[in-house]
Structure 1
């Protein structure tokens, strides 16, 4: 491969790719080099993701990633390392769970099977690993052949996880060239091998992000990281890696406040670090960014590798004979198939001719951040035989047709998108507004809704062109089985909610899953201080129809009936205004099906216990685990909208969100 010539470079590095410019001291012969291949936020993307990139002025439709392609790539990296007797780790930055129909059908079992075939050395504990319950998380931990790490948790009081030995704060590896051993304990005496520790950090507000954390306790990320580093140093470990699931901006913050971390391999913010403008996919920030330690003695190298198994990162760390990090270099590589189309429909007629195909392949070969990678044959065959038939059978009826696909990005500007961002999230919100406006729902609730809001992270990907089946929505696009809520909010509360949440997504590398999109509501937001804060400059409610909108300025003093899923309506994922408006009393209504009949569940208030927010119902509590209760009204609403209104699934003909970024 062109990207890496060798796992062992020359002793004198003239330029360090991907790191902040700084003169490099001469490397002594007694240096130690560690290569880390890494992935994160794979979200059960066992099959490739349909995508596209640009070759100069020509758009090329292709596929990226999938776990068989990841395995093929990491096996290539291992072969290179072994040939050069070089030390290597393969790390996962968390959130292997959720995201596709495979997970909905198999829960954690397929994830355990496939990931255990990949030779992963350690994985961070992600928030979506708590999406089911701790009993099934415990089963997953029992099945996998690698440890899951989080040094800032205590699971000793949790009935399911208290005896789980595979959920660890850290692991220590002893390297002798390519050969490595995961140690049960540090040796009493030096044995000549190089000791590398990998510790994990999970979100310390996990109960606020993931409602199913049971009795697991979570502690401050910075304090726990420093305490863990100090403990490892006391044990005699000099080289320390953190594998985290907290978001790129938080990784950088931790690196600036904790002494002694050599590298952070991150996840959670889905950040494909690196400059991908050569593919018209944007510049997403520095890969292998150097962050100076607070004591000024050394620095941390920070990396992350995107989302949905589309790319793999590889970073090389060089340490001097005293164990000090001297250099880091590397990058992310998007893993492409070798079939290219000129149109998103991807018919045989859309395939490029042989000459153009060769030109595309040559173009890819000349880039450092994209590669044509075959799928690992054995893993592809295993998925196709064991899992794919049931998954395809579960998708159900065709409910619509998407002529060109509908794109989703979390934040406007991400992935080469424009100031309006996602095409799909506003459509989802509009569908939920439409559903809540239907006679059956209005008769039940007595509420005439005004608009809907949806968090970008609740929409799990783009919608491909072609037939749209019910399972595309319920199993992949909106898989969380969230029930919809109708919440009264004043115009001022709506503005405050949007402002607070958007401000939290402005910093580079921040978690953008909370970014809000509206349905039947449009707004403009202008950034005033780059990466820090901004303000709503226009916000309007549609008083016309979907096809013929009539926009009316939002009244700060008027109370609006707002539709959103219950997760955000409770105040989770940074939507804290929702908690504050309901902590004393609430007029919110939650909606779910019981025995096939739509029922409403009035909410009395929201309580807070530590970081955990709890809905207190006025009468009968809504229990999604109860027999005959179906809670995914968020997905069912969008299914009905497509089937009855939007069967030609296309983006809306007008924008609903505009984010004006300030220039640095």
Structure 2
């Protein structure tokens, strides 16, 4: 594992068996070679610490130089720790004295023989194919699958190359070529030796990448490819997992219904995906879950859903295998869980989706069961198969409302889950959360909207208990674009740009005012229309929702009189903020109203537009003492005073709810788990609401917000 690995707490180590690591610890920067970059540093440090090499010169390792057979033999013998007899005779007449003992040790161990009976070929350059055989024999690596399909691998090399691939030592030089006859480079050989030593260590290291809540954000998919390739370059046998919510959120989704995302996911080589609540958004439409069924069917990876029942929807009949746990998961099929052999050992992967989906999406005939019960059943199913490394691929939320489900509760209550790869709350976890108990659990989540690629490396002892871990979020912004993916994205983007110019079928009879100075200082007709739409959507999810508020800073421009286009809506609300519903006490909400008008009449992004209520304030009074009255709209059309000791359901966007624009009182509500996160994106909500209003809209300023000082 990397020199930056996270060590477990003292109590965690005390609760696990002591681990003896056969490979020596690597000291950071133990060499002074100028030609060794980050890709090779760990491996070269390892060889130096082993005494296997001193480099090509004092200042260069010769990273990109080919390696001679005799030098490769010296390094291998030292790394293997063979019994090296200084007086041994190889019988070869071309081996220099400096390498006689090491070559003799390899010959004695049956790892390699010479080119002829009396020549070793000491000065010949060794090929990648020959090194594969040496490493496979020397470290005793056995193939665990029969899956490689390299065009240049003959029967002579097949077993060795398959073993190296299975144990995560290399993936070849391309998807179709191993490079059997290519000259091996000194740097690559160092990497092979280091990884082989790790693969045969008593400990087991699992590496994975993870994404969640990408929501159709494939505009930077070329950067995603770069990040994935970079990680796989260092960890060839790593997994790639999705925590769900690929669906909904951008025009890429609206136009292609997930197929554009899937095109790139298939090429990236995902190993599994769980379902997010938004995967079920289309269930109530005319075609039901047809788009989701097509998404699953076309996927070149399996899905996991242990607490989701698809049996009542015939669209999933041919792909629903949730009644079994298998070691032979097929692409485009849905399982409760499956096992996958990684670096020679079985890893169990199962999926969980929030039960809240029934309330915040449109699953229709698809139902959800208790996540704790299903997780316990899955852990037991894996244990019955002798699998002691278990990943829960979840869409529950890190700390979402515990009345439904969340990852923190899952980690605390269910033993035997080693890693939770989560989603739903869009939480950026820069360093993995470690849950310290007898069988510790590591929790990761990558944020949302394809901003990051999550990475994780975990070390297990021989009992399958985590002993070390490290992880980070790789920010995609600023990474180089993969040229192939960038080119493939262009036709999708062209169609999306055309879609932006499409009219939504509704006209504005009056200009909709989103002028910066206006929306940040007072009520506008556009602010009213946006919050009306927010309240309309929230009441579909929770009919008890009475109020909606939206920060003026989130309204970025106006909409002209005339036909409204999708592009105009996206310009008004470009951030893709999602809907949340707070359960908040009147006194807390009154504090928020005070904050809303605290800078008036000076413009402030925190200024709240409202629906379902009205309020008056006095800008001449000190900040915090300005609210004159606040009233809530009742079902009969009358208004009643906002009561400070009563609880209200209030909708807003998650930016504001999570404390944006200094709404600390909302952030406390969020931290107190009093927020439901249905996750519908603001511009989708606004578009849908406008389309319910007939052919045209003509909102007015109604006196919802009044400064009595004006």
TM-score (norm 2): 0.49
Q: Is the 8 A contact 1:454 1:517 kept in 2?
A: no
Q: Please state how far the C-alpha of 1:327 moved relative to its aligned partner.
A: 1.4
Q: Please state how far the C-alpha of 1:303 moved relative to its aligned partner.
A: 0.6
Query: What is the match of residue 278 of structure 1?
Result: none
Query: What is the match of residue 519 of structure 1?
Result: 609
String of CA shifts for 1:49-92, please: whole Å, max 9, x gaps: xxxxxxxxxxxxxxxxx22211110111111113xxxx311111
Q: Distance in 1 between matches of 2:633 and 2:699?
A: 35
Matched, 1:382 2:477: no
Q: Is the 8 A contact 1:405 1:466 kept in 2?
A: no
String of CA shifts for 1:562-589, please: whole Å, max 9, x gaps: 99xxxxxxxxxx99799xxxxxxxxxxx
Q: Please state how far the C-alpha of 1:521 moved relative to its aligned partner.
A: 6.6
Q: Please state how far the C-alpha of 1:311 moved relative to its aligned partner.
A: 0.8
String of CA shifts for 1:218-246, please: whole Å, max 9, x gaps: 10011111111111111111100011111
String of CA shifts for 1:99-138, please: whole Å, max 9, x gaps: 1011111212222222222211111100010111322211
Specify the SS of the correspondent of 1:255.
helix
Q: Distance in 2 between matches of 1:308 and 1:425?
A: 31
242, 264, 272: which one aligns with 1:122: 272
Specify the SS of the correspondent of 1:160.
helix
Q: Please state how far the C-alpha of 1:430 moved relative to its aligned partner.
A: 3.0
Query: What is the match of residue 312 of structure 2?
Result: 157
In structure 1, the gaps of 5 or more residues are: 1-7, 48-65, 175-181, 275-286, 338-372, 408-421, 438-450, 485-492, 503-515, 523-538, 564-573, 579-612, 614-629, 647-651, 655-664
Specify the SS of the correspondent of 1:336.
coil
String of CA shifts for 1:244-271, please: whole Å, max 9, x gaps: 1110111111000001000101000000
Q: Is the 8 A contact 2:584 2:649 kept in 1?
A: no
Query: What is the match of residue 427 of structure 2?
Result: 271
129, 143, 149: which one aligns with 2:298: 143
Q: Distance in 2 between matches of 1:551 and 1:225?
A: 49
Matched, 1:541 2:615: yes
Q: Please state how far the C-alpha of 1:428 moved relative to its aligned partner.
A: 7.0
Query: What is the match of residue 219 of structure 1?
Result: 369
What are the within-5 Å matches in structure 2 for residues 228-377 of structure 1?
Answer: 228-249=378-399, 250-274=406-430, 287-292=431-436, 296-337=437-478, 373-377=479-483
Query: What is the match of residue 78 of structure 1?
Result: 232
Specify the SS of the correspondent of 2:416.
coil
Give the paired residue count: 419
Who wins on radius of gyration, i.e. which is larger?
2
Query: What is the match of residue 623 of structure 1?
Result: none
Q: Distance in 1 between matches of 2:631 and 2:706?
A: 25
Specify the SS of the correspondent of 1:393.
helix
Higher helix share: 2
Query: What is the match of residue 28 of structure 1?
Result: 21
Q: Structure 2 vs 1, CA of residues 26 and 402 (structure 1 numbering), >3 Å: closer, same or farther?
A: farther
In structure 2, the gaps of 5 or more residues are: 23-201, 284-288, 330-334, 400-405, 504-510, 536-545, 593-605, 620-625, 640-646, 652-677, 679-685
Q: Is the 8 A contact 1:38 1:91 kept in 2?
A: yes
Query: What is the match of residue 565 of structure 2?
Result: 470
Query: What is the match of residue 554 of structure 1?
Result: 630
Q: Distance in 2 between matches of 1:473 and 1:307?
A: 24
Q: Please state how far the C-alpha of 1:320 moved relative to its aligned partner.
A: 0.8
Q: Distance in 2 between matches of 1:171 and 1:44?
A: 30
The two structures, once aligned, show a CA RMSD in angstroms of 5.4
Q: Is the 8 A contact 1:150 1:169 kept in 2?
A: no
Query: What is the match of residue 548 of structure 2?
Result: 453
What are the within-5 Å matches in structure 2 for residues 59-70 of structure 1?
Answer: 66-70=220-224
Q: Structure 2 vs 1, CA of residues 554 and 238 (structure 1 numbering), >3 Å: closer, same or farther?
A: same
Q: Distance in 2 between matches of 1:74 and 1:268?
A: 22
Q: Structure 2 vs 1, CA of residues 555 and 465 (structure 1 numbering), >3 Å: closer, same or farther?
A: closer
Ranked by relative contact order (alpha carbons within 8 Å, sequence separation 6 or more), the top structure is 1
Higher strand share: 1
Q: Distance in 1 between matches of 2:635 and 2:212?
A: 42
